[in-house]
Structure 1
Amino acid sequence: MASTAFDIGGDLGVRRLGFGAMRLPTEPGADREHSLAVVRRAVELGVTLVDTAHLYGGGANEELLAEALYPYPEGLLVTTKVGVARTGPDGAWRLDGRPAILRDQVDQALRRLRVERIELLQLHRVDPETPMADQLGTLAELQAEGKVGRLGLSEVTVGELEQAREIIDVVSVQNRYNLLDREHEPVLAACEAAGIAFLPWRPVAAGTAGERTEIAAVAAECGATPTQVALAWLLGRSPVVLPIPGTARIDHLEENLAAQDVELTQVHRERLDRLTG
């Protein structure tokens, strides 16, 4: 059985199977109340890593998490991301890593999450129009000021990770990765070699896992669902992998979190390893 815990940055202990809050409805009404219930249930079931971002509703997702969970239980990590802003034509979302934007989004996150320090902050995307040194330098300044504890990246290449590590101490990388989509395999390998947490977003290929005969067959043999097999495969793929499956339904949440109890044999893993998207 794969280890269920990981220390991000060597000192921030979390359970490896986390929760991605992106899909939660935030508009007032019954859907929002259900979102609050989903988040609270996730923590009740032992989740200690919850992922959000400024992009998710322009901060509305951060406010939702604070409403659901504040005051936060000891040991709970709510990580957020900055670097995407409504600064495009007609207020459209665009990558924006200018220092003033990053600083403003961090200050907004501190207020919305009701914290004095964001223990893990990730750059949502590298802005190609702003020098990386300016983007990461700003985050390092915020870290030095005590507003941020640790720094991570999202959707980066191996080269960008190497470049970033010359500027900051990178403790996490959040890239798209799952059983059927392994484009970022080289990035995962680089993270594993350096002991950097790798948070795969979209950890389950939406709507496809159950359609693959081999995944369905393994699931039947394990007494699990295809989704649970996909998550169990990730947990066994590398000790640095911290999946953050997201859902707006409590039954799906409970299904996802039960994946840590699914035991794949070596033969199962070899069969799954041979799959490609």
Structure 2
Amino acid sequence: MPGPACAKALAGSHMLEESEGAMEVETTLLIALAGVAGGAMNALAGGGTFATLPALLAVGVPANVANATSNVALLPGAATSTWAFRGELGPLGGVDHRVLAGITFVGGLVGSALLVVTPGHAFDLIVPWLVLYAFVVLAFGRHASAWLAARVTIGARTLVAVQALLGVYGGYFGGGVGLMTTATYGLLASITPRAMFGPRTLMLAVANAAAAIVFVSAGMVEWRYAVPMLVGAVVGGWGGAAVGRHLPELMVRTGTLAVTGVTAALFFWRAYG
């Protein structure tokens, strides 16, 4: 028969296990909710990484593994959104969307391979400026596009080259790539944020798929967090796409600008604050 000291130790051990179990449930719920938010953001305006990556960092996942895990977790949500917008896919700026998707896939493979073999510290300093670019082009893209269209011809080659760079960026880091894609399409293809839902979500899904192949092969995914985040992202991606089809253009544009502006500020604070 155990003595009082032994009984007390056993009781303490049970309480510790219960406490750890409760914390694990809370952590899983946080990760799943971050996935819902990230999936919805990607469907509506892009920037889903800014919901998932901070959540993974908050629970102690290393930055490079968190980036890879976030990418894999958001892939099904991006694919779900793409399927929901499949009826809105078509040529973009005179280039077939399937050609752009192929270019994005190759770029995603290159970018994700670079992340695996190189440190990302220097790129952390560049990211805020890229997102700031997205904000500026989104804010003034219509006027700039009209001004450029009256003076120069922006051909399919320019769009293809920029899409390749977006694919590399999406595979390497991915933060804000949806916002940057929205800004770039507005400038080079002269289409509105609402009309970009279909092609943008397709490119996001393709870049994520390419990166996921590399990250999974390299063993960089924290699966205990990737799975609940993945489930949440599917729910958020489908719901965001369903809502997005009925939103007025002004609301989409305003929301996209707001997300981009906040994102740029957060990245500047993270890199230089």
Q: Place the TM-score, normalised by the shorter chain, in its bin.
A: under 0.3
Structure number with the higher helix fraction is 2
Using structure 2 for the length normalisation, give the TM-score.
Answer: 0.25
- Structure number with higher relative contact order (C-alpha < 8 Å, ≥ 6 residues apart): 2
Which structure is higher in strand share? 1
